[in-house]
Structure 1
Amino acid sequence: MAERRPHPTAAGRAPRHPATSQRTATPGARGGAPRPAAARADARSERPVRRPQDDRRAPATRRSAGGRPGARPSSRRGGPPAPPRTPLRLPLASSPRRLHAVLIVIAVGLSLCGGRLLQLQGFDSAAYAATSADLLTRKLPLLPSRGTITDRNGEVLASTQPAVAVTADPTLTTPRAAEIADVLSGYLQMPAADLVPLLTKPDTHFVYLKKKVPALTYSALSSALAQKGVYGVFRESDPIRTYPAGTVGSSVVGFVGADGKGLAGMELELDRELAGVEGTETYESAPNGSRIPLGESSTTPAQNGVDVQLTLDSELQFMAQQRLAAQVQKMGADSGFAITLDVKTGQVLVLANAPTFNSAAPQKADADDRGNRAVLAPYEPGSVEKVLTSAALIDSGTANPATRVEIPGRLPSGGASIKDHFVHGDIRLNMRGIIANSSNIGTALLTRQLDKQTLHDYLASFGLGRPTGIEVPGEASGILPGGDMSDSQRDQIAFGQALSVSGIQEAAAIAGIVNDGVYNPPTLVKQKTDAAGAVLPNPQEAPRRVISSASSAAVRDLMASVTDSPNGVQNLRLDAYTSGGKTGTAQRADPKCGCYRGYVTSYVGFAPLDDPRLLTYVVLTNPRNGDTGTSVATPVFKDIMNQALPRYSVAPDGDTKRKALPTEW
């Protein structure tokens, strides 16, 4: 009988046919004989191949073909069940090992935490405490009041008005910026629209809202903000420097910058003393910027600056400035200055410049007009220098007022020739006549008899070639050729060229010569006092003798011949005082072309003649409507002296008739 093959559609099982199917017994099973091995082999060979998609049958929990839940279906009906699949199991680690690993991790974490805690509290505790304190501490500078500058009579020339700079912390003001801006707008005179961007500026804790706000204004502003419970607006001391006198003495007083530091004049020269010492206010604040009422606070008070009293006479200074400015305009000059000295002390009573500026608004003036030409701008002095040359000649014994000189019309010198301002042939003048007529040739002839090194030493002793030490920053030294000067340089120096001086150098030198030969270094500072009113030391260079008393009297005699001699200039006399003087006209060195162009005209004079008290020196640069000191500078000299001498109680002596001494031979 042919063998029946199972139908392949039965998923590997033969179809069930009750009539023909037989239960095959396996060894040890109930009710059946063992199936031959060949039959089992045939059965395996006939079993259809299982496709991969057959694995997507129902899960193992459904009943198998044999009827037992979870049993593996047999390949044939009635065959033995397939061995159960061994489930995939991961081996579990040892519990003690897991516990040890966890404990180690915990121990390492606790060690790190303990180490960090030790660092914070044991080693770095002070640093972190300081950082924390800094975050809660606010420091405000307490600026001192800058010292006052007054004239010799106590008139205020510079003072300080309390004011502040209003600041804000945008991290505190941003949430209520619009409300704060509305309050600030009226007090700061700024539109709210301009304030809001400042109050909300990102990434910063500090902005300036407005500087130079009067202290009373800020006080009212602060109260208004406090009423609204607003924090974040602060202040810094930012005082306002005021100059009540305006232009009077401005070239001496100077001015300060926006930061309150001196930039020119006395404000710069004495800046450290005037400024004082800054203090601080320290207090603990809450995160919103408000002061913690019971927090720690401390104050280091500021030390106010030194008050400075100048030697200037502001009323005389005002008159001199007005008169000088008018003459500069009338003569069409580029500029001018006037100096009045007390020859007994060296104190400067007048130091006027024209054009000048207002210390309260220096930016409105040209840079050249913000300086002090009488101290900073050297020039060739011209015939005024003959006073110094004469002092050297007389004191050295080379000449005296009666020394006779034959003067030619021209004098050869260094490949050129020297001439006088007046045309003449051969004339005979004594030294008095040489000075009265301002003869360049006569002065050069006398100076040729003096050793060049000796001439240099005398001029140096009079203060030429170095600063006088007056309290003005940037004082010019001038130029004084050495003892090895050429012969032609000596000739030119004799009458005021081939060297340069500052106005204050020349005025102080002549004041020393006529003051019985005693030189007093010029000064602008009369007294300094601290905030408590105590007078502070004001060291100055000691007076020194430069020529003998007899030589001084002889020089005064020469200068008197300029005003008293019939051959002198008669319109130089003062109204009620005897006086001596000297005119000057020098070629002007123009740095633009490196040549001489125009003139520097001047006049220096003193009074009374026998006992000088005041000296005034007037210089005008490049006048276009005159070229002599007589017509250009002398009118200003006379107006200043006629007012200054009575003001300082100098007794008139002009009624004394002086006999004119001879000037010719």
Structure 2
Amino acid sequence: MRIHDVSSPRSTARVRVGFCFMVALLLVVGCRVVVIQGFDPESYASKAADRRTQVSALASERGAIVDRNGTVLAQSTVRYDIVGTPKVNSTTETFRRVDGSGSVRTVTRDQGLQDLAGLLDLPESDVRGLLTGDGLFTYLAKAVDPGLERAVMELGIPGVESRPVKKRAYPQGPVAGSIVGFTNDEGGAAGLELTLDDRLKGRDGERTYQTGADGIIIPTAPLEVVPATNGQSVKLTIDTDLQYAAQQALETQAGKLSADWANVIVVEAKTGKIRAMAETNSVDPNDPGATAPEDRGARSVQAAIEPGSTEKAITAAAAIEEGIVSPDSQLVIPPGYTVNGQYFKDSFDHGTEKRTFAGVIGSSMNTGTVMVGQDLSRQQRYDYLRRFGIGSRTGVPLPGESSGLLAAPDQWDGRQEFAVLFGQGVAQTPLQTTMAFQAIANGGVLLKPRLIEAYVDPDGTEHPVEQEPGTRAVSEDTARQTRDILESVVTAGGAKDIKVPGYRVGGKTGTAEAIAESGRGLDGYTASFVGMAPMDDPQYVVMVNVQRPAGNIYGISTAPVFNNIMARVLSTFGVAPSRTASVSLAQKF
């Protein structure tokens, strides 16, 4: 038998190679240990901490929306669901808890379950059953208040967590629903809930803690709590009682007239504050899906409609301001009137009549209005409409506000250049029309409509919204003369059914063909009335608008709703009755 010599050169080489490999491997491992322990310990410690770190949300509360008196229109409640992971809790015999003094003590699972059952007011056996087994999720309690949630989490029971639940409620239901709007899972979805979402929504906080590999909270690890910041609340200029009364009156009138829809707007003449802006079929924010999509918004600012003869108040103010006419100017009105090849007639047949200008407006005569208005240039007609806010958004904080349709004067055709004088060939929102009358009531100064009274911090600090300076549409004297004409519409003209006992009232009726919902052509009529009171010192403007009522449009009256709402407004705000005689300008000569 031949024996190999282990000291041969070939064997020695193999041993050397193996030795070098082992040394190299040890060097790599050693260097890695040096890097971990010496050069980058924080990175690896941080990664380990990240794996242990758990974050639970602390829900913020969305701000409330209230009326001028603090009546709640929208409010949020923050609640928490207490949930558990049975698989984690079942395998935990003991855990450590930090008490109020900062001391750490060991707690048995049985004791933890008893403590939890006591807080949740549940039988201990029920809680034990829910947290026993291999399940990964179970509800222990739903919609508990923040105080109870905090107490539960302080128990530090393995496998027990909380989840925030936010709920939005609208205690007044559909009252002012088209103004308030509603929310969805993403936040504001309509109305003020949408446009003021950044103010209303809060900023959620968080609770950060650490757990071991077994899912048990490490009681000695840092506990960080970033409190939630609640959103601002919003106080509106709206009066809920008045809003409710307006909506009820509208529903009744629209039902009697089989109208498509109707709306009422109440504006404080000297401040621009909107005290009511009511719609038929107003959405209930608690259940917006129950309302047709077209009825969920505020048509008072979204619907652009031909105003009809209410626009004659602007024409009258413009002609008086330019010195073309005065209320007692005498006009001979033919049965029909032709200008630049365009023929105009009135809603009623008549022969040649001798009318004062006040009588022209009092009987809502298109013929006489065109006879006077033709002396205004195209540019002047356009400029006065703009001065009264027509063609511009009012800036009220509601989504989808329309600027209306007011073409530039060089785009008017041969008929439109005269039709705009009596409210045709132009479209505007009911709020725009209301604010034009606000300017006449306010001595010729047009204000911005105000829907927000104040923003309120979570601690109750109010930040009132200041009134913006108005813009002068016409002189104070022109506004006074125009008001005399409007009062005479009620006392001597065609609106004698407008009556608010104890108060002088003025205003103007309006009738116009309604634009079809498709936007193509005309379909039915719009009937409206815009009035103000008391005429000795106008405080409030009320507009009533009824869209597509059934029957003879010239037999339709909005007086019942106007009289009802204006009387309520004057009573609600304590406006003293008139102490001066009514104005009743001569209508004929």
Say whether residues 1:664 and 2:588 are aligned partners: yes
Tell me the distance in 2 between the aligned counterparts of 1:579 and 1:266: 33
Structure-1 residue corresponding to 2:26? 110
Structure-2 residue corresponding to 1:97? 13
Tell me the distance in 1 between the aligned counterparts of 2:563 and 2:435: 19
Structure-2 residue corresponding to 1:64? none
Q: Please point out which of 605, 629, 647 is paired with 2:531.
A: 605
- Structure 1 residues 123 and 217, CA gap change in structure 2 (3 angstroms): closer
Say whether residues 1:513 and 2:440 are aligned partners: yes
Structure-1 residue corresponding to 2:224? 298
Offset at residue 221 of structure 1 (A): 12
Report the 3-state secondary structure (helix = DSSP H, G, I; strand = E; otherwise coil) of the residue aligned with 1:456: helix
Tell me the distance in 2 between the aligned counterparts of 1:522 and 1:659: 28
Say whether residues 1:126 and 2:55 are aligned partners: no
Tell me the distance in 2 between the aligned counterparts of 1:413 and 1:123: 95
Point out the more displaced range, 549-558 or 584-593.
584-593
- Structure 1 residues 535 and 217, CA gap change in structure 2 (3 angstroms): closer
Q: How does 1:238-637 map to 2 (within 5 A)?
A: 238-259=165-186, 261-412=187-338, 417-484=343-410, 485-536=412-463, 538-565=465-492, 567-592=493-518, 594-628=520-554, 631-637=556-562
Residue identity in the other structure for 1:144: S
CA RMSD of aligned residues (A): 3.3
Q: How many residues align?
A: 558
Find the structure with the greater CA-based Rg.
1
Q: How does 1:25-44 map to 2 (within 5 A)?
A: none
Q: Please point out which of 144, 156, 159 is paired with 1:215.
A: 144
- Structure 1 residues 594 and 241, CA gap change in structure 2 (3 angstroms): same
Offset at residue 651 of structure 1 (A): 1.1
Report the 3-state secondary structure (helix = DSSP H, G, I; strand = E; otherwise coil) of the residue aligned with 2:453: strand
Residue identity in the other structure for 1:608: P
- Structure 1 residues 543 and 226, CA gap change in structure 2 (3 angstroms): closer
Tell me the distance in 2 between the aligned counterparts of 1:209 and 1:496: 63
Report the 3-state secondary structure (helix = DSSP H, G, I; strand = E; otherwise coil) of the residue aligned with 2:556: helix
Structure having greater relative contact order (Cα 8 Å, sep ≥ 6): 2
Tell me the distance in 2 between the aligned counterparts of 1:344 and 1:221: 50
Tell me the distance in 2 between the aligned counterparts of 1:354 and 1:160: 26
Report the 3-state secondary structure (helix = DSSP H, G, I; strand = E; otherwise coil) of the residue aligned with 1:162: strand
Structure-1 residue corresponding to 2:98? none
- Structure 1 residues 411 and 584, CA gap change in structure 2 (3 angstroms): same
Conserved in 2, the CA contact under 8 Å of 1:467 and 1:476?
yes
Tell me the distance in 2 between the aligned counterparts of 1:441 and 1:250: 42
Residue identity in the other structure for 2:328: A
Q: Please point out which of 58, 66, 79 is paired with 1:150.
A: 66
- Structure 1 residues 121 and 524, CA gap change in structure 2 (3 angstroms): same
Offset at residue 89 of structure 1 (A): 7.5
Conserved in 1, the CA contact under 8 Å of 2:274 and 2:451?
yes
- Structure 1 residues 219 and 432, CA gap change in structure 2 (3 angstroms): same
Structure-2 residue corresponding to 1:57? none
Report the 3-state secondary structure (helix = DSSP H, G, I; strand = E; otherwise coil) of the residue aligned with 1:649: coil
Tell me the distance in 2 between the aligned counterparts of 1:415 and 1:289: 89
Deviations 1:135-193 (A, max 9, x none): 111112222221121111111111122213556669747989xxx9xx9x999xxxx9x
Tell me the distance in 1 between the aligned counterparts of 2:470 and 2:86: 61
Offset at residue 347 of structure 1 (A): 0.5
Say whether residues 1:641 and 2:566 are aligned partners: yes
Deviations 1:265-309 (A, max 9, x none): 111121111112222221122334443222112122222111211
Tell me the distance in 2 between the aligned counterparts of 1:511 and 1:371: 24
- Structure 1 residues 554 and 272, CA gap change in structure 2 (3 angstroms): same
Structure-2 residue corresponding to 1:234? 161
Structure-1 residue corresponding to 2:105? none
- Structure 1 residues 491 and 173, CA gap change in structure 2 (3 angstroms): farther
Tell me the distance in 1 between the aligned counterparts of 2:543 and 2:413: 30
Residue identity in the other structure for 1:664: K
Conserved in 2, the CA contact under 8 Å of 1:341 and 1:349?
yes
Structure-2 residue corresponding to 1:26? none
Tell me the distance in 2 between the aligned counterparts of 1:425 and 1:90: 144
Normalised by the length of structure 2, the TM-score is 0.86
Task: Mark the runs of 5 or more structure 1 residues left unpaired by the alignment.
Answer: 1-85, 202-206
Report the 3-state secondary structure (helix = DSSP H, G, I; strand = E; otherwise coil) of the residue aligned with 1:235: strand
- Structure 1 residues 210 and 230, CA gap change in structure 2 (3 angstroms): closer
- Structure 1 residues 106 and 471, CA gap change in structure 2 (3 angstroms): same
Tell me the distance in 1 between the aligned counterparts of 2:438 and 2:471: 12
Normalised by the length of structure 1, the TM-score is 0.77
Residue identity in the other structure for 1:214: A
Offset at residue 507 of structure 1 (A): 0.6
Conserved in 2, the CA contact under 8 Å of 1:514 and 1:555?
no
Tell me the distance in 2 between the aligned counterparts of 1:399 and 1:479: 28
- Structure 1 residues 174 and 472, CA gap change in structure 2 (3 angstroms): farther
- Structure 1 residues 539 and 612, CA gap change in structure 2 (3 angstroms): closer
Structure-2 residue corresponding to 1:83? none
Residue identity in the other structure for 1:550: D
Conserved in 2, the CA contact under 8 Å of 1:232 and 1:288?
no
Deviations 1:376-429 (A, max 9, x none): 111111111111221222122222212233323233468663221111233232
Deviations 1:87-134 (A, max 9, x none): 798996644323321221012212322343344345554333222111
Conserved in 2, the CA contact under 8 Å of 1:164 and 1:218?
no
Between the aligned residues of both structures, percent identity stands at 33
- Structure 1 residues 455 and 526, CA gap change in structure 2 (3 angstroms): same
